[in-house]
Amino acid sequence: MKITRYVCVTNKAVCCVWAPITLPIGLKRQIVDRERPSLFVPRKTIEVEFEEMKLTIKMPSNFDCHQMAIRGLWLAYDHHSVEADSYRMPSLPDYLFDLWNPSLDLLEYSAREHAEKLRLREEQAEERRLRLEEKKAILGRMEYPPVSPRRDKRKKGKKQTKGHSAKDYELEFEATLATMLPSKSELLPYLPTPSEIIREAEERAMSESKKVLFTRCEKTEINLRKYRILGGVFCVDLLYQPPQPKDLGKDTYLTTLELPKEPKFVPFLRSYETPQPAPDSERTPEIIEAEMKALELAMDALILLTLKLPETVFWFEPPVVAHWLPEKKMWSTKYVHDVKFNEEKQTIAFRVGRLGVHGLAAYKFANLPFQSWELKPETGKSGRLHAGVVLTVTAATIQAEFVIREDRVCLNSFTGAASIPLKETLGKYLELECLIEQLQQNGLDLFPERDAASYVKGLPIKHPITEKHLRECMALLSTSYVFSWSRWNATRSFREIVLQFKEIHGCVAKERTNLMLLVTPSRTMRIRCTEMSPEFSDLPLEDEDTKFYADLYQLTLNTAGIKTRLLIDQISYKLASTVARLLECTNVISMSS
């Protein structure tokens, strides 16, 4: 038997074909082989290695690939995932979307909230009047209490033959108080304030939005909101060989043409079910050995694929092997079995019961929640005071530093893992969207979307419109202030954002340590609490008890030094907008624990 190979390698695709060519056998040889079966050599299991794809294929022992060909195809671009239902984020219903519409600014939202509070107050006017009358009645009974029968009897008596203890007076007081105050069942129920009603409605809406944004999938389906296919896709197929030319002698060849002239795929589908073990009471050594043999036979009927993981991708966790089901348009693990990951060699071996398109799915949220973050001005170069802004994000195992200059962003440094996948990206200034796309394709996903909170527990999700306004203020101040993560942020409520900040210019500012900033939809203030305080305190600084600031920008304009205010005025629109977009894409405020 003769083996033929075909290989075609490009930057975006690799195609490899392996085919056994059966040579013609004379009629006499066929008769002799039938009469002398002892001369037949047992067939070997077919094992094919495509070095260009770093893929090894081992066929079942009872599969000889007669008049067939094995094709391996690697494509750099995954054009299947976009067809899956789980690829796109579910949309929120109108009543949830309008609550925190991204087009709203903080001023418009505050005006709507104030109007809603006024409406609730008008609706509660009668209820408040009834509760006010109830309190007046209780105060009247306390001011003119009824005379105790015991005290009235004591006044009429001539002498007290026996003194009264303190306990007796306490019991008498409690009895008198019980006659004046109504019981809990007689009191009107507690009437929440408009602020409490709005806060409770927002918390319910946030909890409901997490459920709506969660994508539900079948048991074996790969949820593409939670996983991403990385390293391209690779196809393994069996093709029927077209009829080969036959040599008739005297330079004459005969070739049969089959129409239409297109490749014909060999259907390969073998189901696999794990053999059910016998009850523990019946598991003798013979039964265990029989179970092992049955498992080996069942596995041997499947195709074994061994693949070396692409070096252009970060694999923070072992990938999930997925098979594309074209009839359902989804990635699935249904026909993938016996997956074995070798971390040292960076290889993954698995068996499949169906040929077709396969991919490696990586967990998107391996670096969430972030451990800390910091936004600060870049040290000036070439005579400029500030060249740009630096954002440092620290995750569980890695640390990334982004540098923003005008409308370009670069990944300036990366620690915690080998930077081989980033050799073409590290230090290169790109538009933000291009940089995000490249890093995500490299497996470095530091840009969670809105539905990340539906899959990762413990994220301190904050008020969206307040957070958006805070990001814009931070961007305007990014060349003159340092902002950083605070451990108190994760412990505060939905409407409270806590972070550290520090002015970097001025003699007094340089001597100060980081101040704590508390931001709510209605107010921004510097508080007395520090990062090392044993407990959180929302009291303002001692010299700011009577001062009110609507947002961070107003606070800095009234507290910053002259040099800082000049820098705030000089920041360019491109730089401020790019910093705000990067803060939005990384979402460090709500995605840090």
Asked if residues 180 and 145 have their Cβ atoms less than 8 Å apart, the reply is yes
Compute φ and ψ for 397, nearest 5 degrees.
-125, -10
Query: 207 is written with which tokens?
Result: 């909890």
Cross-strand pairs, 49: 56
CA–centroid distance for 314 within its chain:
16
HSE (side-chain half, CA atoms, 13 Å) at 58: 14
Query: 31 is written with which tokens?
Result: 């008769």
Q: How many CB atoms lie within 10 A of CB 478?
A: 29
pTM of the model: 0.85
Asked if residues 189 and 485 have their Cβ atoms less than 8 Å apart, the reply is no
Asked if residues 346 and 395 have their Cβ atoms less than 8 Å apart, the reply is no
- 127 to each of 37, 137, 187, 266, how far by Cα in Å? 101, 16, 13, 77
Query: 331 is written with which tokens?
Result: 């990635």
pLDDT tens for each residue of 563-587: 899 989 999 999 999 999 999 999 9
Q: What is the C-alpha to C-alpha distance for residues 408 and 129, in angstroms, rounded to an integer? A: 60
Instruction: Choose among 309, 307, 314, 308: nearest CA to 421.
Output: 314
Phi-psi region of 362 (alpha: psi -120 to 50; beta: other; left: phi over 0): beta
- In the block, tokens 């056998």 appear at 25
Amino acid at 428: K
Residue pLDDT tens, the chain, 593 long: 688 999 999 999 999 999 998 766 555 555 555 555 544 445 678 999 999 999 999 999 888 888 899 999 999 999 999 999 999 999 999 989 888 888 899 999 999 999 999 999 999 999 999 989 888 887 877 777 666 555 555 555 545 545 566 777 677 767 766 666 777 777 888 899 999 999 999 999 999 999 999 999 999 999 999 999 999 999 999 999 888 777 777 788 888 887 888 888 999 988 887 766 656 656 677 666 766 777 777 788 899 999 999 999 999 999 999 999 999 999 999 999 999 999 999 999 999 999 999 999 999 999 999 999 999 998 765 445 557 999 999 998 899 999 999 999 999 999 988 888 898 899 999 999 999 999 999 999 999 999 999 999 989 999 999 999 999 999 999 999 999 999 999 999 999 999 999 998 877 677 778 999 999 999 999 999 999 999 999 999 887 777 899 999 999 999 888 889 998 999 999 999 999 999 999 999 999 98
